[in-house]
Every structure is written in structure tokens, then in C-alpha cells.
Structure 1
């Protein structure tokens, strides 16, 4: 296996652990918990795993002889830096319980559990992947574990492998499904525990017990390096506005974190736009005014950060998308009529079949974007919002608005654009020291939860702005994070997504500075992730966590 010079050195890195995990662990139970909302409904759906206490691990436990444990691990959903270190932490943790413990990886995500596809993860295999990015040790997948037939198929292989527990590494949906699985196995006394680990670069799986999801730190550092490079180029060439779309369909945590790191001229925060009920036109006007004011200073260049899911947060666009989903729903008479039209006539036909307000919004869109909205559908027949080139939508609309302003004598500059979308570039990067340590601690914590006989819990590691040996490890009941939401027409229990808090310290600081950043050139150039060197450079945590914890 050919590996790079960096990978050879990173293989030697020993992730840091909280002090409580370095010896015999004492499990301390806190107060009983309840869900964040809809307590009666959640309690009724999870009678065996609801109301469990928060767990905290402390030093001073009594060393005891333990039997070997067999654990299965699943990587679920999109990749995030550090997944391999979660697996390394689980492996080392269960080997610490007993040298004969075994770890089995299910291949290709949750589907591997259902289809009985797995590999035993030996020391030789695990050692190859320590401190590396990606999920390629066993692969990931998006199969949802939702029905009892799947649970029963999974139980068959769990029994064949004599598994004590399954650890599911995933985001909010994957951990919701893990909790449903834990409840089912508890109800039928299957003897298989289910533990979750919080993964997602989007940063929307967080709360008081889960301070950050793993991968967020590394991904935002990668994106910020690229943004800084582009800002340096913009400040050198002084002739382009760079419109950069960043991952984050459901929340704008990535955009906010990257803005705090790099200080671009414009950063749109979807949650603020929804809260203020801004129209698409108002968003475009704001951006055009920043461009025009910088041009007054002779600065015909800049950088704008745009969250991937922005259009779903603009009320009029949300209504438009809903109407398009109904109008072009698969199998309807209107959809059949639409498909019979010549492509050049379709957008005008759509505009005449929408409500007056939505028709006006649709006609205001650049032709290419309007066409995207009518053609790119998911398997359910809905607009694929993540495929909308929001950066080009805004760039073209800002250009049109600036032409109008120039005609009115309100703008005297030149406007050239470059477009970028940073997504996959950050998902499999070699984890930062923070994520390498955090992920290893999450995995090791999962092994302690298994040894303690717990199920329906998610690994929790807190106090993460402190040095790693002062981190607080433990477990949080997944039901504590749940509420009821409508999904595909039915009310379902799901982990509540964490949006950017408009009253939170990170956003408030951003608001206090964005006026300066807009009109001045206050760019910050973070540079690449540093793995070797002084701790104040290499072990930096996110700006978001620093502000949230007042550090």
C-alpha cells in the first residue's frame, strides 16, 4: 500500500484522551431526562429507552475482570473527517475490556447489517487507517433502518457473530434510526445494545450534551483554507467577485464558522433570512449595495459565502418550490402536459400555472435556474434543492440589479464573477488534531457504554475548548434530543436539528463585524491545517465553540 510522507507521520500520532478514560472508569448517573419537546408522544414511542439518565465518566472506578465483548460498527450517511478514529477508539476500548474482544465492520453502511456483509476488523486493518480521512475502511451508505423486517435481519447476523452491541456512526437521521433499533431490541429482549456517535460536517447535530459533531472542525478548516486562498487571489487580481456556495442544506453553521475564520465581504445566514422573512429581491439588493459601495472605493472585487440550502429559507422561494412540487408531481395531468411541451415553451407554461406571487418570483429567475427547478427532481418527485446553483442564481441576479443601478447613476464599477462550490473537498480530509482526538474519544466512550451495558445512548464528549485530558466523557440518551416532525406526510420522532442561534454569541459577534468586513478588505488567510508544531496552532478548536464557551 503506497502512502504519502504525511500519512506515514500521521500514523504515529497517538490521539489524546480525557483523563477519565485512561484507567478504570466510574460511571456516574445524573438526573432522569425527557425529550426536548412532545414528551408524551416520545415517551409512548420509546417506553424502554425514554427518561434514562445522563451518564458521566469519572476516574476512580474499580478494576474488575471482564468477559470479551463483540461489537459491530456501522458508518452511516455522508463522510466526515475522523470516522476512522472513532473505529480506532472503539477497537482499542474493547481490547482494553478484554484482549479477546472482537470488532466487526458492516460493509457499505446500514445495508451491510441487513444483507449480512461484514469484515472482522483486526489490529492489522485498523492500524492502516488511524488518523486518516474518509470512510473507506468499511464504506458508508444511506440505507435507512426503519422497519422491523430490517431489524430482524440485523438480529440474525448479530446472533451469528455473538454481538453484544452495535455502534452506529451517523448524523441526526442515522442516530434517530439507531434509537428506534435500540428500542426494538430492548422490547424483544434481543440482548443487543445500540450506541450512537454524532457525525456530520454540517454541524446541525449539537446541543448542550453534544457540543459539536465530528468532522465539522476539519471540514471548516479545509474550506477556510480554500476561501483564504481565493481571498488572497481576489486581493491580488482586484477584478473578480467570488460567489462561494458551502455545504449546509439544513443549517448555516459551516458558513458562519468559515466567515469567523476568514472575514469575507458577504456571508448569508439562512436562519437570519428566514427570521426576517427577506425576499429574494431583498437579498439581491443587499448584495448589490455591498458591491456598489466597495466599487465607490475602487474595489471591484470581493468574496461572498452562500449556504447550500439558502433558497429553502427564503419564504417566497419555499412557497414556489412547494407549488412546483404539486404542479409537476409524477403522474399528474399537469406533469404529463408539461412533458409534452417543447423545452423552449416549458418555463412560460409553468409561470402561467402558478399563483400570481410565485409566478412573479419564477419569472424573475435566470432562465437556467428556472429550468433547474422544473427538471431536477428527486425519487419522490420533489425539487432537488441541493442541486440548485444558488451561487449562480445570486450572481446573475446581482449583475442584473447592478446594470439597473448603473443606468440610474447609482453604480460606477465593473462586476465580474467567479463561482465555486465547496462540498466534497472537505468531507474526507485527514482529520485535524482536534477531530483526531475528539473522534478517538467518542469511539473509546462508546466502548465504555457497551461495557456498562447501556443502550439507546449517544457518546458524549464535552468541555472541548479545554485541553483533551480535561474533556468530560459520558453518554446522553438519544430520546432526550427528540421531537415530533412531519416527514413524508406522517409525524415521526426525529432528533431535533440545531440551527444557527440568532441570539447566540457566534452570530452576534459576526453581526457586530460584518459591516466592517463588507466595505473594507479585512481578509484573514488561515492557511492549511497544521498537524505538527505548537499546540496553539495545531490544536485549535472552532471559532464557534470559542464564542459559545466564552473562551
Structure 2
């Protein structure tokens, strides 16, 4: 393989493990658990895997030989830095249990399990991918494991390969499906365990036992480097406002973390906008006021961070999108009628089929944004939020507001915009030292959960603001994180998404500083991820974690 000088050096890196996992290990069971909400309903749906205890691994067990274990691993959903190290940790862990243990990777995500497409992951393969970004070792996919026929097809190949367990590496939906699969196999006494690992750069899979999802640290460091570069450019050229959209549809953790790292002039937090029931007009007025005040100080430049899913948190837009999803749902008569129209007639037609309030909002939008809201829906029938150029919507509306302010004598500056969307740039970066260590520990912990016969658990590594040797490894029952939510018209058990907590320390700190950052130019330039050097430069966790544990 042709690899870079950095890749050669990273291949030599040995991820750090918690001290408790370095020698003989013993399992310690804690208190029985219950779901975060809807306890009766969740227990009825998961009679075999509900109420299991928390578990932790401590040093001091008997260093005895064990039977080999065969494990299948699946990468599910979008990429996140560190996935290869989770797989490396599983591989090394099961080989330590017994050198005859085998690891199989199912190709292309959960669909590989159903379609019986797999490869045995040998040391020769694993060693090429240690400490690298991406999911290309076996590929990922978004097939949902929800139907019994899928479970049964998976069981067929599990029996053929003599698998003791499946490890599913994914986000909240993937781990919900892993829990359903664990319950099904337990009910059938199939002899196949299911373990999950917490993955998502969005940072919305977290709770008391899962302090962060892997990949969040690396992705936010990549985005923050780019934001810092743009801030330096803005402060040099002094003539542009940069509107930057950041990944994060359901939560604003990425935006908040990047703001804490870089101190931009404006950062919108979707959860706050929803809490305050702010309208688009409120948001635009807030942004325009900051632009005008900076211009009054002779600073016709700045940087604004905008969460990808922002418009779904604005009440009037949320209502509009819900109506559009119904109006343009695939296969409906209205969707067919819409597609028969000339493109030049479509926006007027849509407006005529909305309620008065939504029609007024729709007609107030720039034509390009209105058109984006009518594009083909995602597989769930919802508007594809990532395709909506929210940054341009706000930029154009702020420009209109400033034009009106100029006519009224309230703004005498200049306003020129540059637009950016940082998404895929962060998903497959080479993992930071933190993520390389964290992911390896998660995988290694998953191997121990398998060896202890556990199922329906998610691998958990905690105490993450301490040095890696002091991290606490264990497992948390997935049912502990669940509640009931309406999905496609039916109540279903799902892992509760973690949104930005408006009474949490990270957000409160941000609020205490955002006024200074808005009107001053107090930019921080984090620079690229550092892999070599002192620990306070290379091994630091996110600002969010540091503030949460302060």
C-alpha cells in the first residue's frame, strides 16, 4: 500500500488502555437498572434483557485459559473516526482470551449479516487499519435490523460461523436495533450474544454511563481547525461574514463544542431556539444586531456557526416541514400532482395547499430555499435537512434586514457573505489520540463482555477526563437508555437522544461568554489535530467533557 509518512507513524501507535484491563480481569456487578422512562412498557417488550445490572471490569481476576470465542462485527450508519480501533480492540481482546478466537466482519453494514456477506479479519488485515480513519475495512450501511426474517437470516450465518456474539458499532438507532436483536436471540435461546458500541460524531448518544460517543472528539477538532482558519482569514481580510453550517441534525453538540474551542461571534443552538420558541424573524434580528454593532466598531466581518438541523427546531418551520412531508409523501395523489407540474408553477401550487400560517412562511423564504424544501424525501419520508442551505437562508434574510436598517439609518456598514458546510470533512479523519485510545478501549471492553456471556449491553468506558489508565471500563444494559417514542405513527422503544442541556455547565459557560465573543474579536485558532507531543496538547478530551466534569 502507498501510505503517507503520518500513516506510517500512526501505525506504530499503541493505544492506551485502562489499567484495569491490562492484566487479569474480574467482572463486578452493580445495581439492577431500569429504563429512563416508560418502565412498564419497556419491560414488557424486553422481558429477557430488562433490569440487568451495570457491570464493571476490575483488575485482579484469575489469569486462566478460556475457550475461544468467535465474534462477528458490524459497522452501522455514518462513519465516525475511530471505528477501526474499536475493531482492533475487539480483535486483540478475543485473541488474548484465546489465540484460537476468530473475528468476522460483515460487509456493508447490517445488510451484510442478512445477506451473509463477510470476511474473516486476520492480523494481516487488522494491522493495516490500526489508528486510521474511515470504515473502509469492512464498509458500513444503513439497513435497519427490525424484522424477524432478518434476525433469522442473521442467525443462520451466526450458526454457520459458530459465532458466540455479534458486536454492532453504531448510533442510537443502531444500538436500539441491537437491543431488539439481543432480546430476540435470548427469547429463542439461540446462543448468540449481542453487544453495542456507542458511535456518532453528532454527540447525541450520551448519558451518565456513556460520557461521549466515539468520533465526536476528532470530528469537532477537525471542524474547529477549519473554523479557526476561516476566523484568521476573516480577521485578515476584514470584509466577509462567514456563515458556517455544521453537522448535527437532532442536536447542537457539535456547534457548541466548536464554539467553545474557537470563540466565534455568533453560534446558534437549536435547543435554545426551540425552548424560547424563537421565530425566523427573531433569529435574523439577533444576528443582524450583532453584525450592525460590529460594523459600528469598524469591523465588517465575523463568523457565525449554524447547526445543520436548525430549521426543524424553529416552531413555524417545524410546522411547515410537517405539512410539506404530508403533502409530498411518496405515492400520495398530491405528490403525483406536484411532480406533473412545471417547475415554474410548483412553489405557487405548494403554497396554495398549505394552511395560511405555513403558506405565509413558505412564501417569505428565498426561492432557492423554498425549492429545497420540496425536494425528494429521505427513506423515512422526511425532508432531507442536510440538503437545505440553512446558512444561505439566514445570510440572505440578514442581508434583507440590514438593507431595511440602512434605509432607517440604523446600519452604515457593509455586509458580504461567504458560505460553508462542514460535514463529511470530519467523519473519516484519522482519530485523535483520545479517540484512538477510547475506541480501542471500547472494543477491548466489548470482547470482555462477550467472554463473560453478556448480551443486550453497550460497551462503556467512563472517567474520560482522567488519564486513560484511570478510565473505568464496563457495560450498561441498553434497555436502561430507552423510552417510548412515536415513529411513523406507532409507539416504539428507542434510545433517548441526548440534546444540549440548557441547564448544563457547557451551555451555561457558553452563554456567559457569547456576548464578549459577539462584539469583540476573541478568536481562538486551534490548528490541526496533534498526534505527537505533550499530553496537554495531544490527549485532551473535548471542552464539553471538561466542563461537564468540572
Q: TM-score, normalised by structure 1?
A: 0.99
Shift of 1:265: 0.3
Q: Distance in 2 between matches of 1:331 and 1:228?
A: 46
**Does the alignment pair 1:49 with 2:49?**
yes
Q: Distance in 2 between matches of 1:60 and 1:523?
A: 48
Q: Distance in 2 between matches of 1:52 and 1:381?
A: 36
Q: Distance in 1 between matches of 2:547 and 2:362?
A: 40
Shift of 1:63: 1.6
Over 3 Å counting, the alpha-carbon distance change for 1:241 and 1:12 in structure 2 is same
**Does the alignment pair 1:18 with 2:18?**
yes
**Paired position in structure 1 for 2:292:** 292
**Would you say the 8 A contact 1:225–1:525 is kept in 2?**
yes
Aligned partner of residue 245 in structure 2, secondary structure: strand
Q: Distance in 1 between matches of 2:211 and 2:132?
A: 23
**Does the alignment pair 1:490 with 2:490?**
yes
Structure 2 gap ranges (5+)? none
Q: Deviations over 1:19-46 (max 9, x none)?
A: 1100111111000000000000000000
**Paired position in structure 2 for 1:541:** 541
Q: Distance in 1 between matches of 2:491 and 2:63?
A: 46
Shift of 1:371: 1.0
**Would you say the 8 A contact 2:255–2:306 is kept in 1?**
yes
Aligned partner of residue 374 in structure 2, secondary structure: helix
Q: Distance in 2 between matches of 1:75 and 1:499?
A: 24
Aligned partner of residue 509 in structure 1, secondary structure: helix
Shift of 1:533: 0.5
**Paired position in structure 2 for 1:66:** 66
**Would you say the 8 A contact 2:265–2:519 is kept in 1?**
yes
> After the TM superposition, which residues 219-238 of structure 1 pair with which residues of structure 2 at under 5 Å, given as runs?
219-238=219-238
Shift of 1:531: 0.2
**Paired position in structure 1 for 2:390:** 390
**Would you say the 8 A contact 1:456–1:477 is kept in 2?**
yes
Shift of 1:136: 0.5
Shift of 1:380: 4.6
> After the TM superposition, which residues 510-525 of structure 1 pair with which residues of structure 2 at under 5 Å, given as runs?
510-525=510-525
Aligned partner of residue 15 in structure 1, secondary structure: coil
**Would you say the 8 A contact 2:74–2:169 is kept in 1?**
yes
Q: Distance in 2 between matches of 1:8 and 1:330?
A: 49
> After the TM superposition, which residues 437-516 of structure 1 pair with which residues of structure 2 at under 5 Å, given as runs?
437-516=437-516
Q: Distance in 1 between matches of 2:424 and 2:198?
A: 19
Q: Deviations over 1:225-253 (max 9, x none)?
A: 00000000000000000000000000000
Shift of 1:509: 0.2
Q: Distance in 2 between matches of 1:16 and 1:64?
A: 23
Q: Deviations over 1:425-450 (max 9, x none)?
A: 00000000000000000000001101
**Paired position in structure 1 for 2:127:** 127
**Paired position in structure 2 for 1:314:** 314
Q: Which moved more, 1:505-514 or 1:65-74?
A: 65-74
**Does the alignment pair 1:414 with 2:414?**
yes
Shift of 1:387: 1.1
**Paired position in structure 1 for 2:241:** 241
Shift of 1:349: 2.3
Q: Which moved more, 1:311-320 or 1:377-386?
A: 377-386
What's the C-alpha RMSD, in Å, of the aligned pairs? 0.9
Q: Deviations over 1:460-506 (max 9, x none)?
A: 00000000000000000000000001111111100000000000000
Q: Distance in 2 between matches of 1:366 and 1:151?
A: 47
**Would you say the 8 A contact 1:376–1:387 is kept in 2?**
no
**Paired position in structure 2 for 1:148:** 148
Over 3 Å counting, the alpha-carbon distance change for 1:186 and 1:216 in structure 2 is same
Shift of 1:322: 1.0
Q: Distance in 1 between matches of 2:381 and 2:479?
A: 32
Aligned partner of residue 375 in structure 1, secondary structure: coil
Q: Distance in 2 between matches of 1:45 and 1:539?
A: 41
Q: Distance in 2 between matches of 1:386 and 1:486?
A: 23
Q: Deviations over 1:344-380 (max 9, x none)?
A: 2221222222212111111110010011112232245
**Paired position in structure 2 for 1:327:** 327
Q: Distance in 1 between matches of 2:266 and 2:143?
A: 37
Aligned partner of residue 540 in structure 1, secondary structure: coil
**Paired position in structure 1 for 2:346:** 346
Over 3 Å counting, the alpha-carbon distance change for 1:343 and 1:467 in structure 2 is same
Q: Which moved more, 1:169-178 or 1:369-378?
A: 369-378
Q: Distance in 1 between matches of 2:157 and 2:330?
A: 38
Over 3 Å counting, the alpha-carbon distance change for 1:245 and 1:95 in structure 2 is same
Structure 1 gap ranges (5+)? none
Q: Distance in 2 between matches of 1:21 and 1:335?
A: 57
Q: Deviations over 1:285-335 (max 9, x none)?
A: 101111011000010000000000001000000000111122223343433
Aligned partner of residue 243 in structure 1, secondary structure: strand
Q: Distance in 1 between matches of 2:168 and 2:191?
A: 17
Over 3 Å counting, the alpha-carbon distance change for 1:381 and 1:19 in structure 2 is closer
Q: Distance in 1 between matches of 2:291 and 2:310?
A: 20
How many equivalent residue pairs? Answer: 550
**Paired position in structure 1 for 2:108:** 108
